[in-house]
Amino acid sequence: MIASGSDFPDLRDAVRASALGAATLRTIAALRVAWSDAMLTRTIERRLAGINELSPDEAVRSLGIAVTVAVLAAWAMSLAIPTYLSTNIPAWAFFFCASLAALAAARPGAFARQWSRSRLRRLSLWFRRPR
């Protein structure tokens, strides 16, 4: 059973009235204000707004390029790590993922059309829906 907002009202009131509870609530309120006013938060929000304004083709192309670079960088770094410390991902897997991402960057229209009908999209929508 999961506790809801109406469970344990007396306990909640007692915690809020205590010195530790009041200090915790003040700290959380201060952190929320600081987070909303932080330069990093504003920068992230601006960047996300810019990404949301991209067309589907531009978004797929940008993501494809970013994933290709990230996968190739991960492969290059895996060469510098001793075998007993590294993952067991074979080189062909890195190149396969990089090839798929590069293909998506080269042909973004086809990938955007397929994404609208994909099961992965429906699954991601199911995870993102409000509860």
Q: What burial class does residue 2 get, using C-beta atoms within 10 Å of its C-beta: 0-12 exposed, 13-18 middle, 19+ buried?
A: exposed
Full-model pTM? 0.59
107, 46, 131, 24: CA torsion to nearest 10:
140
Structural domain spans, the chain: 8-53, 56-128
Q: Measured between alpha carbons, how far is 90 from 64 in angstroms, rounded to an integer?
A: 21
The whole-number pLDDT of residue 6 equals 65
Q: Find the helix packing angle between 91-106 and 56-80, rounded to 10°.
A: 160
Per-residue pLDDT of the chain in tens (131 residues, 90 and over written 9): 455 566 678 888 888 888 888 898 899 999 888 887 888 888 888 888 888 888 888 988 999 999 999 999 999 998 988 888 877 889 999 999 999 999 999 999 888 888 778 888 888 888 877 76
